[in-house]
Each structure stands twice: as structure tokens, then as C-alpha cells.
């Protein structure tokens, strides 16, 4: 082991511990070491650590999502660029989706020599600390579900989200944009319901078409972030939207994301609708919080309880409305093959979920603020002529 690698090992061991002065001393020794050798050792170890993630289920977007939340902005940038550096060592074949993710992340690489100094903005000490923290993070990541064949693995026909240029998806995006920008709750709900109806019809057509294909689709998956604050409520919204579109969702609270499993058209619906509904729910929650504060009920724990209850109630009621729209679309489709086809696809998704997550547990919701619950239900229900009974809290599914 070279002197630079020894210094790096010492810095990593200290960074993983709880002795802050010891970590700073180890970092100081790294700073005064041979700069070129230290940079080379850092890059080599980061690249090896990143390369070990791909067969363990991680994708570039997953790594970047977690890095953005747990590291400094510079640390996340360093790790993002390291993904581009590590790409050179990947065994063929490298799937197109992998390179597309790197492009979307703007991960780029110029040359190995002096790579850290070029990203240090004149502050090498802080850059080294950020790089060490990035390495600690990457080396600590556990295996997760493999949703796509990693680089170097044989390609298999897993489902993928439909192309973003679809005319139908463009129509859905336009409806959701109108919902997000509308200042009238009933109008926003109407736009969202119409978007769900379009997606449900598209999913039905895709299911019937796939049923006659020589090589039918298989369930695939994607991951959606569920970050603090109120991560559990955001994960519940993902679950409700997923269930309305015949998908399964499993929340990994320690990693801050939910894994959604389903068929291509259904995954596209979940991604689009969840993103828009989260925007709408947050806006409605802030309006409700402002009204509550005006009545002298805001602040502190009470506000947190209100917000969480609001988002939980919003998610559950929106889930009911989306499922109603999907059911209506199915009932309008006069085809005797439809119900057996949809049932078979639902069974396939559940089977895939059981394979990838055999040890899931369930978390029951708690209503901490009745006013927040009532307001959240109303915000999700104003466009409905028949609100129906208050939904019963359902458990969140998460890995054991």
C-alpha cells in the first residue's frame, strides 16, 4: 500500500468514527501529503466503490439522489463527476439507459491529473473533506433491488417507462400543468382527474396490445424520492398513486425513496401524477397552514402535526379519486378480454414485488391533528359531488 493510500485509509477510518478532532488531524495529514498521489488514490478508490454499486441494484440517479441529500453541494458534484470517470472502466455492454442517466445528471470528466484541484475552487482542504465524505457514503450503501440489468450483464426484456415524446403524455403534462397553476381547487382537481382518465385509457390499450404480442412486457420498476420533511406522507402519496395505476410501491425510509413496480404505461402514469399531485398537495397545505395561523393555531409541534395529517389525508382521498377514474375508464372499454388481462398483469406485478421485497413490513398511520386531516381531505375532494366516507388509514409497505 502506497503512503497516499495509507493516509486515505486513516482519513476514512477517522471520518467514520465519532472523534471529530481525530478526523480533522487525519484530514490535515491528507492535505500535506503528495497531492498528485492523494488525488490518484482518491479517484481510484471512488471509482472502485462506485463500480461495486451497479451489480447491487444502484443506478446513477439513485446515487446522485442520495448524495444530494447527504453531502454538501460540492461533495455531490464530485461524486457525480466520478460517475463519469468510472464509466470508462465499465464492461460491455453498457445499456443506453445508463449513459442517458449520466447525461441527464450532467456528469462529466476531463482528465485524471489534477481532477480534485479543478473542482476545489481554490479550497483544497474543503474539497478533500467533501471527497472523503463522498467515499464514506458510497462504501456504506447496502444492496437494493435490481430493477435493470447492470452494465456488463446480458440484456433481458424488462419493462421501461415509455418515451417522453409520446403525444398522449404531452397531453397529460399539459393538463397537470394547468392543475398546478390553477387558483381554483375544483378546477385543479378536474384537470387532474382528466389526466388520470387519459392515462388509464392508455394503460388499458397498452395492456390489450401486449396480451397479443409474441414477447409480452414484464413488470419493471423505478424509484421516486420521498424526502423529509414528512417523508412518510410523501411515500403514502406515491403508494396511493401507484395503487390507482395497478402498481406496487415499497418505501425504503432509510434511503429516502420508494420503489414502484409495474408495467410501462402504468409507471409513466405514476411518475407524472405523483410529481404534479405533490406540488398541488404542498400548495394546498401551505394555504391551509396560513389560514390556521391566522386563527392563532400555528407554530411548533402543532404545525408539524397539521402538515403531516393534511398530507396523509390528501394522499388517501386522492388515491380514492384516482382509482375511481381508473375504474370508470375500464368500465367504458367494451372488451371481454380486459378484466382477465388486467388481473394477470396485477398478479405479475405482485409476484415481482414479492420476489424483490420478500420481507416487507407495514407501518400504520397515526392522525395527530384532526383539523389537518379534515383540511387535507377537503383539499383533495372539492371537485367531487359525492365525497363519500372518510377513508380508513392504510398501512405503508416498506422493507423489513
Residue-wise pLDDT for 61-110, tens only, equals: 999 999 999 999 999 999 999 999 999 989 888 999 999 999 999 999 98
DSSP string, 186-205: HHHHHHHHHHHHHHHHHHHH
- Torsion angle (degrees, nearest 10) of CA 95, 97, 101, 102: 30
- Statement: residue 393 has pLDDT above 50: no
H/E segment holding residue 262 = strand 257-262
> How much is the pLDDT for 399?
63
> How much is the pLDDT for 370?
73
Percent over 70 (pLDDT), the chain: 82
Nearest to 377 by CA among 391, 366, 363, 365: 391
> How much is the pLDDT for 223?
95
H/E segment holding residue 324 = helix 300-332
Are the C-beta atoms of 37 and 2 separated by less than 8 Å? yes
Nearest to 254 by CA among 71, 80, 66: 66
What are the residues whose beta carbons fall under 8 Å from the beta carbon of 184, sequence distance 6 or more?
none
What are the residues whose beta carbons fall under 8 Å from the beta carbon of 52, sequence distance 6 or more?
none
- Alpha-carbon distance values, 136 to 8, 14, 363 (Å): 11, 10, 30
Percent over 90 (pLDDT), the chain: 45
Could you give the angle at which helices 264-294 and 185-211 cross, rounded to 10 degrees?
A: 170
Of 114 and 296, the one with more pLDDT: 114
> How much is the pLDDT for 7?
95
Distance of alpha carbon 14 from alpha carbon 19, whole angstroms: 7
Confidence of residue 124 (pLDDT cuts 50, 70, 90): very high
Are the C-beta atoms of 227 and 373 separated by less than 8 Å? no
In whole angstroms, how large is the CA radius of gyration of the chain?
24
- Alpha-carbon distance values, 280 to 177, 228, 373 (Å): 10, 17, 16
- Reduce the DSSP state of residue 297 to 3 states and report it: coil
What are the residues whose beta carbons fall under 8 Å from the beta carbon of 127, sequence distance 6 or more?
74, 78, 116, 117, 119, 120, 121
Residue linked to cell 412486457: 217
Distance of alpha carbon 149 from alpha carbon 138, whole angstroms: 20
What are the residues whose beta carbons fall under 8 Å from the beta carbon of 333, sequence distance 6 or more?
201, 204
What average pLDDT score do residues 296-309 get?
70
What average pLDDT score do residues 347-352 get?
93
Comparing 79-88, 93-102, 205-214, 340-349, the range with the smallest average pLDDT is: 205-214
Confidence of residue 165 (pLDDT cuts 50, 70, 90): very low
Distance of alpha carbon 116 from alpha carbon 127, whole angstroms: 7
Amino acid at each position: 500500500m502506497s503512503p497516499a493510500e495509507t493516509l486515505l485509509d486513516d482519513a476514512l477510518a477517522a471520518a467514520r468514527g465519532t472523534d471529530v478532532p481525530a478526523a480533522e488531524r487525519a484530514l490535515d495529514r491528507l492535505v500535506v501529503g503528495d497531492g498528485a498521489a492523494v488525488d490518484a488514490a482518491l479517484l481510484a478508490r471512488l471509482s472502485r466503490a462506485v463500480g461495486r454499486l451497479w451489480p447491487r441494484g444502484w443506478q446513477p440517479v439513485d446515487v446522485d439522489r442520495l448524495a444530494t441529500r447527504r453531502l454538501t453541494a460540492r461533495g455531490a458534484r464530485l461524486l457525480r463527476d466520478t460517475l463519469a470517470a468510472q464509466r470508462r472502466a465499465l464492461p460491455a455492454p453498457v445499456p443506453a439507459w445508463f449513459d442517458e442517466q449520466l447525461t441527464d445528471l450532467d456528469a462529466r470528466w476531463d482528465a485524471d491529473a489534477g481532477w480534485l484541484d479543478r473542482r476545489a475552487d481554490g479550497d483544497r482542504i474543503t474539497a478533500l473533506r467533501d471527497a472523503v465524505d463522498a467515499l464514506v457514503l458510497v462504501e456504506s450503501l447496502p444492496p437494493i433491488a435490481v430493477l435493470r440489468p447492470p452494465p456488463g450483464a446480458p440484456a433481458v426484456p424488462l419493462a421501461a417507462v415509455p418515451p417522453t415524446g409520446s403525444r398522449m403524455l404531452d397531453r397529460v403534462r399539459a393538463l397537470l400543468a394547468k392543475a398546478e397553476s390553477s387558483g381554483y381547487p375544483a378546477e385543479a382537481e378536474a384537470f387532474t382527474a382528466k389526466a388520470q382518465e387519459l392515462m388509464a385509457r392508455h394503460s388499458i390499450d397498452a395492456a390489450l396490445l401486449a396480451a397479443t404480442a409474441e414477447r409480452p412486457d414484464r413488470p419493471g420498476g423505478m424509484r421516486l424520492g420521498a424526502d423529509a420533511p414528512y417523508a412518510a406522507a410523501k411515500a403514502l402519496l406515491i403508494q396511493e398513486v401507484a395503487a390507482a395505476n395497478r402498481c406496487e410501491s415499497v418505501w425504503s425510509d432509510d434511503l429516502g425513496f420508494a420503489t414502484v413496480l409495474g408495467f410501462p404505461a402504468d409507471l409513466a402514469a405514476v411518475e407524472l401524477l405523483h410529481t404534479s399531485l405533490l406540488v398541488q398537495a404542498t400548495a394546498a397545505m401551505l394555504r391551509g397552514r396560513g389560514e390556521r395561523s391566522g386563527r392563532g393555531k400555528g407554530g411548533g409541534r402543532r404545525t408539524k402535526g397539521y402538515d403531516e395529517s393534511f398530507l396523509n389525508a390528501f394522499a388517501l382521498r386522492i388515491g380514492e379519486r384516482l382509482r375511481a377514474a381508473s375504474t370508470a375508464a375500464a368500465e367504458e372499454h367494451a372488451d371481454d378480454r380486459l378484466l382477465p388481462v388486467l388481473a394477470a398483469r396485477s398478479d405479475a406485478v405482485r409476484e415481482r414485488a414479492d420476489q424483490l421485497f420478500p420481507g416487507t413490513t407495514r407501518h400504520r398511520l397515526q392522525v395527530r391533528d384532526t383539523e389537518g386531516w379534515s383540511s387535507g381531505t377537503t383539499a383533495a375532494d372539492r371537485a367531487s359531488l359525492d365525497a363519500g366516507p372518510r377513508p380508513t388509514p392504510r398501512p405503508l409497505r416498506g422493507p423489513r
